């Protein structure tokens, strides 16, 4: 009874446009009150929900993204990648995907990557003969690899919520599935570009020498190395790796590219602080929701019911896949994890799935949801930059969704794609 009230109240608030954090907090508070418990549990859980050391990685990685965004590294990466692959049919579109993947190795959020890449490639791609809806589809899909390629805020939240999964381990586990997803998206992009003759139309393209553009781009290319390398050799915790990347980015911005001022620094700190707060307050109030659902024993029956359906391993994964992609169309990755993990983890335990691998495939499903119309957040950002409607992207983006599904299916069938890297690096 209380469970039904809790979820109905939550759904009404959520669909009524109430901030997700408030919907979670009030639904949790109502359930606590209905169960005749004291509401003192609310501030206790709010404070304990965010006062956790591993979570400091979130504001720090958000700051890394803001710093590198302002250095103008995206533009230099595009120039370098273009110099490498030339300008044939589909070349610039593939460059957009590759650059989104590298930026994914610096920043931890999909929409931010979609904006950074979209702003840099859209004009050039239009000149090169790509239709605008195709550009928006490419950028939106490419940015979805961001939450798989470390660092990823969704992974940090998953690792903090799931006992036995460490942040470095799941970062490493996301690496190859992220690259696989990026490559999978490039396949339909190239095929469509060849068939429809997209790209290679810009006659007045300024030729960059590979070496010259490499010298400019190397500073950006080194950023993921600083972040992952530091964690790999065990020199830094993820939070420390993020802070090192912040100082590295500031060094590049102030002394190498000389594109940054003290005013920029202040604005970046404020911007990163606000974006982090919007995520952290959801985590804080979600812990009230999670506390009430687990204390009142609402979660276990749902998990038990799904396991009891007798769908088998792959059947259950398929069911979760459909459910998560649908939810991923409405909610961001972090909120999805916060709301659903209490139900999903007991299911994974019942089937004795590896929890690190489970986190990776859940994140892949959310990534697909991020560029599936009509509500996809990455696609919304790239459409606004390209100046097209989301409906117009459907004929193109469908093929990219299909491609990423194939990548997801491969990771489901061959868990080693995810688990090989953390195992050989000794992370798990």
Select the residue interacting with another protein from 332, 338, 404, 419 (CB under 8 A): 332
Nearest CB to another protein, comparing residues 28 and 342: 28
Nearest CB to another protein, comparing residues 26 and 190: 26
| DSSP one-letter code for 206 | P
Binding residues with another protein: total (CB under 8 A): 69
Select the residue interacting with another protein from 149, 185, 284, 338 (CB under 8 A): 284
Q: Is 37 in the site for another protein (CB under 8 A)?
A: no
Select the residue interacting with another protein from 6, 10, 21, 363 (CB under 8 A): 21
Q: Is 42 in the site for another protein (CB under 8 A)?
A: yes
- Residue with token string 């995907």: 97
Q: Is 211 in the site for another protein (CB under 8 A)?
A: no
Which 3 state secondary structure label does DSSP give 297?
coil
Q: What is the dihedral of CA 344, 347, 353, 356, to 10 degrees?
A: 20
Q: Is 95 in the site for another protein (CB under 8 A)?
A: no
CB atoms near residue 270 (< 10 Å): 11
Which 3 state secondary structure label does DSSP give 130?
coil
Q: Report in angstroms how near the CB of residue 225 gets to another protein at its nearest.
A: 17
Nearest CB to another protein, comparing residues 41 and 84: 41
- Residue with token string 């830094």: 236
Cα–Cα nearest to 396, from 172, 131, 54: 131
Q: Which residues of 36-47 are buried (b: 16+ CB within 10 A; e: fewer)?
A: eeeeebbeebbe
Q: Is 270 in the site for another protein (CB under 8 A)?
A: yes
**Distance from C-alpha of 274 to C-alpha of 293, rounded to nearest angstrom:** 29
Could you tell me which residues come within 8 angstroms of residue 118 by beta carbon, excluding any fewer than 6 positions away? 135, 136, 139, 381, 382, 385, 386
**Distance from C-alpha of 91 to C-alpha of 198, rounded to nearest angstrom:** 9
Q: Is 324 in the site for another protein (CB under 8 A)?
A: no
Q: Is 63 in the site for another protein (CB under 8 A)?
A: yes
Select the residue interacting with another protein from 6, 20, 290, 306 (CB under 8 A): 20
Select the residue interacting with another protein from 110, 124, 188, 422 (CB under 8 A): 110
Burial of 4 (0-12, 13-18, 19+ CB in 10 A): exposed
| DSSP one-letter code for 131 | -
Please choose, out of 7-15, 206-214, 251-259, 394-402, the segment that lies near another protein by the rule CB under 8 A: 7-15
Integer-rounded Cα radius of gyration of the chain: 22
Q: Taking CB under 8 A as the criterion, which residues in 222-251 touch another protein? A: 236, 239-240, 243-244, 246-247
Nearest CB to another protein, comparing residues 52 and 258: 52
Nearest CB to another protein, comparing residues 275 and 343: 275
Q: Is 59 in the site for another protein (CB under 8 A)?
A: yes
**Distance from C-alpha of 185 to C-alpha of 149, rounded to nearest angstrom:** 14
**Distance from C-alpha of 333 to C-alpha of 337, rounded to nearest angstrom:** 6
Select the residue interacting with another protein from 31, 149, 175, 282 (CB under 8 A): 282
Q: Which residues are at the interface with another protein (CB under 8 A)?
A: 13-22, 25-26, 29, 39-40, 42-44, 46-47, 50-53, 55-56, 59-60, 63, 109-112, 115, 236, 239-240, 243-244, 246-247, 266, 269-270, 272-282, 284-285, 329-332, 335, 375-377, 380-381, 384-385
């Amino acid at each position: 009874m209380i469970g039904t009230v809790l979820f109905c109240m939550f759904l009404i608030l959520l669909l009524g446009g109430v901030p997700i954090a408030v919907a979670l907090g009030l639904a949790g508070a109502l359930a606590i009150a209905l169960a005749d418990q004291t509401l003192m549990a609310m501030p206790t859980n709010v404070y304990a929900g965010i006062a956790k050391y591993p979570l400091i990685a979130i504001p720090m990685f958000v700051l890394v993204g803001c710093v590198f965004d302002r250095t103008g590294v995206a533009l230099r990466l595009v120039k370098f990648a273009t110099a490498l692959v030339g300008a044939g049919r589909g070349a610039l579109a593939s460059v957009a995907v590759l650059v989104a993947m590298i930026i994914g190795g610096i920043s931890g959020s999909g929409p931010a990557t979609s904006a950074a890449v979209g702003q840099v490639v859209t004009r050039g791609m239009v000149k090169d003969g790509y239709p605008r809806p195709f550009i928006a589809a490419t950028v939106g899909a490419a940015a979805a690899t961001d939450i798989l390629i470390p660092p990823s805020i969704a992974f940090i939240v998953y690792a903090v919520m799931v006992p036995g999964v460490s942040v470095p381990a799941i970062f490493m586990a996301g690496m190859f599935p992220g690259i696989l997803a990026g490559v999978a998206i490039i396949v339909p992009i190239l095929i469509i570009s060849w068939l429809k003759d997209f790209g290679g139309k810009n006659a007045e393209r300024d030729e960059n020498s590979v070496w010259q553009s490499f010298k400019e781009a190397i500073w950006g290319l080194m950023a993921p190395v600083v972040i992952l390398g530091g964690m790999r050799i065990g020199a830094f915790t993820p939070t420390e790796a993020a802070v090192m990347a912040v100082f590295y980015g500031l060094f590049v911005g102030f002394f190498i590219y000389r594109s940054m001022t003290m005013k920029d620094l202040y604005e970046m700190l404020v911007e990163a602080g606000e974006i982090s707060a919007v995520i952290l307050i959801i985590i804080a109030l979600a812990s009230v929701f999670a506390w009430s659902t687990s204390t009142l024993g609402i979660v276990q029956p749902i998990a038990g019911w799904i396991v009891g359906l007798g769908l088998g391993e792959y059947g259950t994964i398929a069911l979760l896949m459909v459910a998560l992609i649908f939810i991923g169309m409405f909610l961001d990755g972090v909120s999805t994890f916060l709301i659903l993990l209490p139900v999903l983890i007991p299911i994974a335990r019942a089937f004795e799935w590896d929890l690190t691998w489970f986190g990776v495939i859940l994140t892949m499903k959310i990534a697909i949801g991020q560029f599936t119309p009509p509500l996809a957040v990455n696609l919304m950002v790239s459409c606004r930059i390209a100046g097209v409607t989301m409906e117009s992207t459907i004929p193109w983006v469908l093929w990219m969704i299909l491609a990423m599904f194939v990548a997801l299916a491969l990771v489901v069938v061959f868990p080693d794609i995810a688990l090989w890297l953390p195992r050989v690096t000794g992370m798990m």
